Structure 1
């Protein structure tokens, strides 16, 4: 594609068996706002974001990633992308049409190379949002999503070819090879990353906080709540963002972050960061060391939604 049709990450939709417990977590201690609910589906917004919602929860028999939604610049761009994906033999789940989710809009869904459901939408009505205030330790917006793939280079190539993602940086270990590719659709260092894992799954969701103080206050609130912390607080090298990772009630990894790097795309050249050097994982040196237990938690469960479109 010669023109970048995608603009930003909109929302991530999760299905879980214990719906009430999951909803209590995200609309409670995690700091999102429930804006709509209907028959076992809830829509959760971030107070600082114009997106109608950034997380959708659905009650289901099995835990799965329902879909990842990206914004497009226009409805014409949605149509163009659908045509390009069809020409590239990508399997569409639906044709471009009006959406009936909060805020409406115009969009369609398709499977990525690993079988995840991806949605692209434009012309969604902006939500009335507000400025998150000083010391208010709630998410401002959805920052990025990280996906586990058994072949990160094939997944990277697919997103580059079909959705015009661009590589920002790579993390590797000399004796193991490449472990993670950071991918962007704007000057934000990454809205998605692809991590090497034993199966297709969600690795983590990341939520942007107002600033360092709010990030630390939020981290403290989660710790006091008894939520399971697996890694952090610290500051990554790739993306230069802060991190603290927790588990939600169904074992999905969720992150508080802030200050994700913005790039000059005209001059940026990707780096390869060697993870045997601890400062490349955590510049500050304040986080507990990355180990196999943390990696196993981030591998998550096998995604039962691969090449199975969500019912809604």
Structure 2
């Protein structure tokens, strides 16, 4: 195993929850165009699953006056690990939003919530019931699972340090620029190249949420289906160097960036060493050379609107 500052108790990313001013438009997009399955609703809430994932849901939408990240949820292996993480964070002075206890969302489980260093609400849970899921078939251009979540940070160095020091995330790679310095840090909590990443930005916000498709053909079919439907494409299709995954970035109706991807790299953690990748090199941004150029327009879209939910836990 890699040399970690603290034991790694987080196993994977579960779901990303968004507060949205127009719930109806978001539900229609994620169900009708993005390819998720609505598995539960409540007053002002929609829970959406990926057909190939055992997670109860991978996206939760909540009607909200403000556009925000409600929370990002990660899994742990056991309730004892949940307790150990809560104890560690409390000892280190991190603000707990809730103490470990029963999770009151689909699938139940045992978990707690806390604020990270910039005020995002993070949930960690174990013993969540697995959803009856299925194998996504050849040619089906729908998400198999939530691949990773990337956030924008006004203090990326501090945010990376927070997740490494308190939660045991490991650094996989860094995107850098000869004049602007380090710009994005890819963090892992399992052998996938990244489940979480942090980008430099003037303000904290969602950079993008990424969804894994079955393979290259399904990824391209999904990309084409969204293009034919008139969904605004930001960047892609292409293949990144860091992580070696494909990418097609689109905007949802509220202006959040969402990605179709496939073939994210799995690392040999015993031998892996983080690399510095200069994204002014076209091969770093897109090995294929098929994507539109990464320019100020693309970067601006990825900055998103400032998150209005910092240090303000969602009501559900």
TM-score where L is the length of structure 1: 0.99
Partner of 1:129: 133
Q: How does 1:277-292 map to 2 (within 5 A)?
A: 277-292=281-296
Partner of 2:26: 22
Conservation of the 8 A alpha-carbon contact between 2:187 and 2:196: yes
Task: Identify unmatched segments of 5+ residues in structure 2.
Answer: none
Aligned length: 312
SS at the partner of 2:247? strand
Mapped to 1, the partners of 2:8 and 2:166 lie a distance apart of 11
Task: Provide runs of 4+ in structure 1 moved above 4 Å.
Answer: none
Q: Specify which of 124, 145, 150 is matched with residue 146 of structure 1.
A: 150
How far the C-alpha of 1:2 sits from its partner, in A, is 4.2
CA distances 1:120-152 after superposition (whole Å, capped 9, x unpaired): 000000000000000000000000000000121
Mapped to 2, the partners of 1:245 and 1:100 lie a distance apart of 32
Q: How does 1:193-272 map to 2 (within 5 A)?
A: 193-272=197-276
CA distances 1:162-201 after superposition (whole Å, capped 9, x unpaired): 0000100000111110000000001000001100001000
Task: Identify unmatched segments of 5+ residues in structure 1.
Answer: none
Partner of 1:5: 9
SS at the partner of 2:203? coil
How far the C-alpha of 1:3 sits from its partner, in A, is 2.6
Does 2:76 match 1:91? Answer: no
Mapped to 2, the partners of 1:206 and 1:15 lie a distance apart of 18
How far the C-alpha of 1:113 sits from its partner, in A, is 0.6
TM-score where L is the length of structure 2: 0.98
Partner of 2:159: 155
Does 2:54 match 1:50? Answer: yes
SS at the partner of 2:33? coil
Conservation of the 8 A alpha-carbon contact between 2:207 and 2:304: yes
SS at the partner of 1:93? strand
Mapped to 2, the partners of 1:100 and 1:88 lie a distance apart of 26
Please provide the CA RMSD for this pair.
0.6
SS at the partner of 1:28? helix
Does 2:87 match 1:67? Answer: no
SS at the partner of 1:27? helix
Mapped to 1, the partners of 2:206 and 2:242 lie a distance apart of 20
Partner of 1:119: 123
Conservation of the 8 A alpha-carbon contact between 2:116 and 2:122: yes
